[in-house]
Chain A
Amino acid sequence: MRQAVVQATQARCERRGRWIGVAAPTLAVALLGGCAAGDKYAKGQTFGYVLASNDYQFYQTPGAAQECPHGFTPNNREQWQAQFPTTAEQQAHLSRCLATSNRGPNCENVWAAPTSIKDPLPYRAVEGPISYGMDLDGTDGAATAKTCRHENFVSPTGQRGIDNQYYRFLGCERFIQGGQHHRPENARKRTIEYQVNRILLEVRGVQDLANDDDVEVVIYRGKDPLIVDAEERAVPWQSQAVDPSITPVRLKGRIANGELVTQPQDVIFEDVVLERRQLIRDMRLHLKLTDSAAEGLRVGYVDLARFWQSYSRTAKWGGAIYGGSGPSAYAALHQLADGHKDPETGRCTSLSSAKKYEFVRAHVIHAGERPRNQGKPL
């Protein structure tokens, strides 16, 4: 049996070598290092998963009374009305600059040039004390060599020291609070519909699914549609083929008391809406493993520069009503940043975040592979 596993792994290493070798020889050397030295994770069991639902963790109360006591984040139109309070001023501005978002001194678009003016109304960040997430920096919010001063949250279950500045930034925007975007069924629907969400995991080298000090976690992109039930919940034990054109991400991890925790690593995730190609710095997975699922958080720091690219593009068309306004949002974003302090400027370049991940067990099928256990129930 063990021999079969090793052979399968060797075959996979060879296949990987073929396609990576063609695409990027230098990268291949790095990725194949593990194969050449012998794949130690092939000795244990491999558990596969497919992403069933994912969404950022936003703690919400009825009417946003607790988290946004001073109301929602002013949108571009409200800022425009505040900037040009009279009808005559508004008409004059539109005649000259054509659109409400072209509010810079020389009609600059405030999403493209967010520092061209200062918004008259303040940005409304979350003020409530409670948030989902984890303690990422181990501080009470005071600045350190690597982090900036920020206010910690308390988790809904009372855990202190929660870092989630991403929530603090976005939590009072109308599209978060008022819309349907973050309802669980919509999160599932997005996961089903968008192929970028076909995230597959393999937890490799597992000796004991409850406790194991050294496992490897590989993140793949799947290419199959998600098999779902009548309520659009992903069906466990489905088969999902790996998209070989996407480079997999390999993480080190451990399992403690049934919880998988990976070591921090910078990873780029693709998504829709606000996260086209987001760099999550020091990304960690914290997933509770059960017989048929893995659920928990993807925590880490959202890179500001990449986030602004997505946010400004998205808000440009939705921001007139549902989002914030370029200048105040840009300023708030940099003010709230709490991670990855630039040693030269002393300013932070990322936002702590927490995203809920729900996986179901799946058979991860690699390109050209006929599963060795096909036909034998696991």
Chain B
Amino acid sequence: MRVKKLVWIGALSVTGLCALVAGVIGYLVFYAEPPVRGGPATMRLISAEQYRNTIAYVFGDDIQVDANFPVLQRQEGLIALGATTATMTPAAFDQFDRAARAIAGQVVDPAHRDILVPCRPRRVNGADPQCAEAFFTKTGRLLHRRPLDRTELGEYVQLASAAANDRGDFYAGLAYALSGMLSSPKFLYITELTEPDAAQPSGVKLDPWSQASRLSFFLWNAPPDEELLASVESGEFAGKAGRRRQIDRMLASPRLEQGMRGFFSDLLQFQEYETISKDPVIYPSFTFDTSKAVHEQTLRMIVDELLVRRGDYRDLFTTNKTFVNRDLGPIYRVPVSAAATDEWLPLELDPDQSAGIVTGLSFLSAHSHPGRSSPTLRGRAIREIFLCQRLPDPPPTVNFALFENLTGKLTARDRLKAHVTDASCAGCHKMTDPLGLGMENYDGAGQFRTEENKVKIDTSGEFDGKPFRGVAEVGRAIHDHPSLSSCLTRRVYAYGVGRNPGAGDRQWLAWARRQFATSGHKVPELLKRIAASDAFYAVAPAEGDPGQIAEIPERVGG
């Protein structure tokens, strides 16, 4: 009897221990954040939007920023990564310099000086170092994203004073020194600095100002605001609770929309398709003003679905809710009771004709030719942008004559048959064309159609083993694709940390993707998870860092 009891107790103890171990393992695998060594601290050239957002925050919306900023190179699907290796060419600096002078002139003009300069100079016809110091202490902290040290501050005050005395105008001197500040590398490059930290695996960590900047540009696409800088200054931000409080505050801010717009504009390659042009004879409804409106339409869809409705990211590919202004009305042939071009109204499309943002006009028109649709470009864009797959460019020996002979080839499906029959093309086009052919109910301008050259369009196909018929089912297939959420997780993380995730990030990314799925694929939750993670702030010296060995991207096709 006693033996039996002991056996029972032993069995229960083993079971309990196993359950505990399983629980701990489960927690570690599912909930505990895997450690990440991190990449090198970055030095990113400020983007046009970040520049505008900064000026708007520091000086106000009415300060005009009129400049053509340099186009940055896209790396691994993101301009944000290209910004980390961008160099300052003379032409680019010329643009920054012109913008700086124009902005500085506006800041001190009579309409703004009383608001933006925190003191009145004792005399306006010469220098007032004390007032200049007050101005640069306040403004420099916001523009440099950290307080100026005594040397920096002294230099700006001296510059402003010398120029004021030289020109006999306090405000002219202030503008002169301010334009210098706006042209300085410390403003134009978002530079991360590190400090020793024995607790970190790499032995270094980002200093708190750099952490705050990384967080702020990630969530708001803008520099840290007064409250975040104050939190760093007080030391609150260094603690986990203080940082979480700041993250929650920033996620609850209306400025989150600006951050989401920044990320999705980058992801969707809007910079490359800033002005889409279409043949006016073939697509008379697609005007210059249409091309300016299509990006805004997509951004409004995204903000509405992800922020306003707090929806599932994957629903961006199945929603039929969009927006329309006067310029887009003709494309959809719908009445738009908007008084002005910048007035947008909600529009619900036929659910059978909609696949969310891939049937948004920016996607359809950008990934098409000027005079016709392109199933190949559309299919490739879906795989590369949303699934993080990489397809090679066409081989240099490709014989385009095969596709230029259009005799008897009335639909895109007829024309693209050559791709399948030519061995050098087939490998890739089998990956791209079926997806794009499923979207052929939309022409090159994004207008719905059921026929091409009076032949009914066949929109059936298969996407990675899943059959579909029509664009709505294409959207559903993208929605259900296993790579969709992992790709977004990877892109958002890369966008935030400013580097392409390496082998050392794999476990962390898998963890983050699971957390994303658990949250119901809510993008704000993903942002929060990343922003609050240790991995987001982790840095390590570049040399000899195994984490910096570039990961070979998922590669499909030939």
Contacts and interface: CB of A to CB of B under 8 A. Distances in A.
A376 B334 contact: yes
B336 A239 contact: yes
Interface string B336-351: 1111000001111110
Nearest to B284: A229
Interface residues of A, number: 24
Nearest to B281: A231
Given A375-B346, A375-B348, A377-B448, A227 B327 contact: yes
Interface string B307-328: 0000000000000000000110
B2 interface: no
B288 interface: yes
A233 B345 CA distance: 25
Contacts of A363: 329, 334-336
Contacts of B327: 227
Contact of A237 (B280, B285, B288, B350): B285
Contact of B335 (A228, A230, A235, A371): A371
Contacts of B335: 239, 363, 365, 371, 373-374
B345 A229 contact: no
Q: Lowest 6 CB-CB distances: which A-B pairs, in order?
A: A363-B335, A371-B335, A237-B330, A239-B336, A237-B333, A229-B280
Interface of A: 224, 227-231, 233, 235-239, 241, 363, 365, 369-371, 373-378
B152 interface: no
Interface string B252-264: 0000000000000
A233 B347 CA distance: 26
B326 A239 contact: yes
Interface string B267-290: 000000000000010001111110
Contact of B334 (A236, A241, A370, A377): A377
Interface of B: 280, 284-289, 326-327, 329-330, 332-339, 345-350, 448
Given A227-B330, A238-B330, A241-B339, 12 more contacts: A227-B289, A228-B287, A229-B286, A230-B288, A237-B330, A237-B333, A239-B337, A241-B337, A374-B334, A374-B347, A377-B334, A378-B334
B326 A377 contact: no
Contacts of A373: 334-335
Contacts of B280: 229-231, 233
A377 B333 CA distance: 5
A193 to B, nearest CB: 17
B287 A230 contact: yes
A237 B287 contact: no
A9 B386 CA distance: 47
Nearest to A238: B330
Contacts of B288: 230
Contact of B287 (A229, A375, A378): A229
A227 B292 CA distance: 14
B329 A238 contact: yes
14 contacts: A224-B339, A227-B287, A227-B289, A235-B284, A237-B330, A239-B337, A363-B334, A371-B335, A373-B334, A373-B335, A374-B337, A377-B333, A377-B349, A378-B333
Contacts of A378: 333-334
A369 B339 CA distance: 12
Contact of B284 (A233, A365, A375): A233
A237 B329 CA distance: 7
A239 B329 contact: yes
A365 B337 contact: yes
